[in-house]
Structure 1
């Protein structure tokens, strides 16, 4: 398929075969997860966590970050576990 044809296709369907999105048709559209739920299928995407993480901006010593990264993928999870363990130990001492 040439590059000019590729931009005229969505998911392999040529533009001229796709129905026009009219206001009436747009009103009938529903979220995909609603449709999946009706059919007994699981929703798409990552499930909601019962204990969601909090995004923070944090400045750490280079050696600390490099040390965790050197252990390979999952370094942020390991760093979180190390901080949680440190907090637990500190609470036990108090």
Structure 2
């Protein structure tokens, strides 16, 4: 945590920055959703392009529901964690 002196200097720098003015209540009242402010971008779907050099092979396998639930319970990235577990199990 910054000291009181550091905090004061930080806030002074913020206040003097012309590229980042503090927003007022009026600014917030005038704010619009992005899809209203720039309608041409509202329905743009970004799609990931092809890999330059695929590093993994797509496979399909059947897993017990409780195993899959356990893998997914740690959140996003479960496929990579499963890959790491399999590598360790086969000694790679």
**TM-score between the two structures when normalised by the length of structure 2:** 0.43
From the two aligned structures, give the one with the greater strand fraction.
1
**TM-score between the two structures when normalised by the length of structure 1:** 0.42
